[in-house]
Amino acid sequence: MLFHTWLFALFFCIVYPVYVLTRGTWFEKPWLLLASYIFYASWNPVFLVLIIYSTVVDYAVVWRMEVSPRRGLWLALGVGNHIFLLGFFKYGGFIVENFNALFARLGLGWEIPDPNGVLSYVNFVSERINHLLAAIGIPYHLAPQTTLLIVGISFYTFQSMSYIIDCYRGIARREKQFLVYAAYVCFFPQLVAGPIERSSNLLRQLGSRRTITGEDIGDGLSLFLVGLFKKVAMADFLALYVDKVYGSPAQFGAPALILATVAFGWQVYFDFAGYTDMARGIARLMGIRLVLNFNNPYLATGFGDFWRRWHISLSSWFRDYIYIPLGGNRRGEVLTHVNMAATMVISGLWHGASWTFVIWGALHAAYRVLTRNLEATAFYRERLPDGVKRAFVFACVTFAWIFFRARSLDDAWLIVRRIFTGGWTDPRCPIVIFGLVAAVWLYQHLYESDARAWLRPAPVRVAIVVFMAVCTFMCAQSGGQPFIYFQF
Amino acid sequence: MSASLDPPFGSNDVRLSLREWAVALPLIAAFVVFAPIAWKAIEPLRIEPNHRQPFSLGSDYWAYNRLWHAQRDQGTVPVIGDSVIWGHYVSKDETLSACLNRLAGRDIYANLGVDGIHPAAMAGLVRYYSGATSYGMVILHCNLLWMSSPRHDLTTEKEFAFNHPTLVPQFSPKIPCYRETYTRRLDVAVERLIPFHAWKSHLQIAYFGDRDIPSWTIEHPYSWPVAAVALKLPSPNEPPSPRPDARPWTDQGITRQPFEWVEFETSLQWRCFRETVELLRSRGNRVFVLLGPFNEHMLTDESRALYAARKQVVADWLKANGIPHLVPDPLPSALYADASHPLAEGYKLLAHQLFDNVAFTRFHRRP
């Protein structure tokens, strides 16, 4: 159930009035939980088993952690459970494939069974559900699952782990009401693609009585429209060109491959930031404030700055639960760089079980390590124009996107090779979409400059909203295109 | 360390208060509501004698709706049906409505046929994209070809791509061969209620090669989409693509066929045809039904007997419901191009049969 479909509109039109009317009553939490579970089940009801299991285990683990003297054991159990779930459902195929390839190369004759074998059980259950739905006349058909990767698993496991670790550290208090905790794990606006919320923000709000003000409604609508524009008018538009070029990179010359890579950089930003904005808008309409996840990342003047602006909830998660526990920058220059690199590589792997993501993470690690000292110099901070720094960061980040987007490592190398050797042919890149991207980029520049005051008058903001709405209506393609980050 | 207790709003100033939304929303709504209306003043629609929907606008329901209203304003009687009425093998001046107009001596009948439309889609077309009629009169064609096999009837279980899927019922009655996702069905069901969507589809079909604007720009990367909107609609004279072979069916090497007629009790198309009649009548129209003429020469003996039985069922139902109708005599074999489409001479004969029919004459006389 994608936010930009009529199905979601219908779902929200049912959920929202009941939510508003029952706020503060005993029915609020069960209703929110039911809505969230229905939302999640719209992908595949079988997956509900996993999220409910995860919620129950975490609730029990934190409860035991509070009363048991062996708190570390319970922490290990809780975190280990999530790592196992991620390892099996997200990385199982990748790990097994690589080990089997290694065994074959060593001539050991061993073979680990493919975890995707579990799919036959999942599809068996899905088929039974289909029969049941057909028998009661519901025209809904669950498509067979082709991959073990469960939608949203990377997001809700990380959110749950942060809660367990924060409780262990004494930063967060145990949520005693199971329904409140369950609603925190699967709060539908941010369930499948974040932002990854800490208990100090979302759980606190869910556990307390909320009012929905006029400001919430206005902000919620604003955020939702901005997100819808980013997704429907920008990301899906850019995707057409990116898919065309990346679908058969051998047929395109250097200009097309460069432009498609730049286009993908913007596509992935608009797609993910668009989802986040819509999620934040929906939550805000419900009186709940989710964290800011993207802050104009392509205006970053350094790689540290980039990661403070890109997928903020994930990068802060890695900072708090990987980088700092590894020692952060407290153990000397070399170890700081090692910690930084390790965190970036793990961050790359978080995005997907593939060597292309590992290389993407490694490239960012290299950028960060190589420029950390440079960024600290007075020359870089004061003498180098921001435009040059932004262009440099953008170029490096864009280069890394090649590995993120390519279908395989072979394709990625082919694209890199052809960018330098592929010849200068007509890229046939639509000027309209690059005009729109340029308009957004200019807006972001103005927003972060002294000219921000120009964007503030009400007529300007209303005009921008109307323009975005018209663009969204006119550019909408038939059927909602899925979000890129759903695959993570 | 942990997230802020008061998350910042966003990374832009696109933030409206409720009062500002009270200004923005009406402006957006005005665009959605008035753009299709204003477009009628911008884009000229020239109704030619014996006008018909241009072939390439066959699935442009907004243009169809506009044509319907334009014809009503000209005081004509709509003749609705599939490609038999539209005139797949003939020019716009050789169709049934054109022949009727010649016999009447003036332009009374409007060709509002749509190529490839089957009764299930016709029901949707009438429900969502047709309006009132001039004299409360409609001539509706019934082509039993659509009940000649489970595939034509859309009751086969095997999925296949059929014509005009966005006009068919999305949820009930269930169409076994229609396997769209639940989300897509809901999109279709909602969007056909919103004229803006039909208008957007019109722009796409008329000016962007039946593609959405983003997809069009991929094909025309250096063109400005606004420039593509030439405000010139295709001609009603444009022939179908691919151009049909307008020769008698026997000359095309078509042999006699054993059609596997569906049972009417379970026929989706028959059910939808009845719904169309009832819908038209519920809007205060008087409906005249033209049943056939089917190319019975093309049927095997057994199949012809089955066809006759079904034809009788339809005629009985029309009679029982007081609906004036004509079951024309089969045309000579050489006047058919295929199972149901007459050639130009066939339309002339058919128009004469209609004009000589008492029920048809009475249909025009009644208030």
* Dihedral, CA of residue B112, residue B116, residue B119 and residue B121, to nearest 10: -90
Q: Given the residues A4, A82, A311, A351, select the one marked as catalytic.
A: A351
Does residue A486 register a pLDDT over 80? no
* Dihedral, CA of residue A318, residue A322, residue A324 and residue A328, to nearest 10: -100
Does residue B6 register a pLDDT over 60? no
Judged by CB atoms closer than 8 Å, whether chains meet at A198 and B15 is answered as no
Does residue A484 register a pLDDT over 80? no
Alpha-carbon span A12 to A270, nearest angstrom: 23
Q: Is residue B238, in this structure, part of any structural domain at all?
A: yes
Question: Is A182 within 8 Å of A55 (Cβ atoms)?
Answer: yes
A351 is catalytic: yes
Alpha-carbon span B320 to B338, nearest angstrom: 31
Q: What is the pLDDT of residue A137?
A: 73
Structure ipTM:
0.88
Tens of pLDDT, residue by residue over B196-206, are 999 999 999 99
- Return the beta strands (E) in chain B as ranges: 77-80, 109-111, 137-142, 286-291, 325-326
In terms of Cβ atoms closer than 10 Å to its own Cβ (0-12, 13-18, 19+), residue B244 is: middle
Number of domains within chain B: 1
Alpha-carbon span B276 to B126, nearest angstrom: 7
Q: Is residue B9, in this structure, part of any structural domain at all?
A: no
Tens of pLDDT, residue by residue over B52-94, are 999 999 999 999 999 999 998 888 999 999 999 999 999 999 9
B296: domain range?
A: 48-365
Judged by CB atoms closer than 8 Å, whether chains meet at B213 and A475 is answered as yes
Q: Is residue B169, in this structure, part of any structural domain at all?
A: yes
Mean pLDDT value across residues A258-264: 96
Query: Which residues on B lie below 8 Å from A477 (Cβ)?
Result: 212, 214-215
Q: For the domain that residue B131 is a member of, what is the CATH number?
A: 3.40.50.1110
Sheet holding B77-80, edge to edge: B109-111, B77-80, B137-142, B286-291, B325-326
Q: Is residue B257, in this structure, part of any structural domain at all?
A: yes
Q: Is residue B35, in this structure, part of any structural domain at all?
A: no
Closest-CA distance, B348 to chain A, in angstroms, reads: 43
Between helices A409-421 and A355-375, what is the axis angle to 10°?
Answer: 50
Q: What is the pLDDT of residue A130?
A: 84
End-to-end CA distance of chain B: 82
Closest-CA distance, A362 to chain B, in angstroms, reads: 25
- Return the beta strands (E) in B93-150 as ranges: 109-111, 137-142
Judged by CB atoms closer than 8 Å, whether chains meet at B15 and A218 is answered as yes
Tens of pLDDT, residue by residue over A312-356, are 999 999 999 999 999 988 888 899 999 999 999 999 999 988 899
Q: Is residue B62, in this structure, part of any structural domain at all?
A: yes
Q: Is residue B260, in this structure, part of any structural domain at all?
A: yes
Tens of pLDDT, residue by residue over A48-81, are 999 999 999 999 999 999 998 999 999 999 999 9
Mean pLDDT value across residues B286-300: 94
Q: Is residue B40, in this structure, part of any structural domain at all?
A: no
Mutate to test the interface with B, among A203, A229, A474, A475 (most CBs of B within 10 A): A474
Q: What is the pLDDT of residue A316?
A: 95
Alpha-carbon span A157 to A171, nearest angstrom: 19
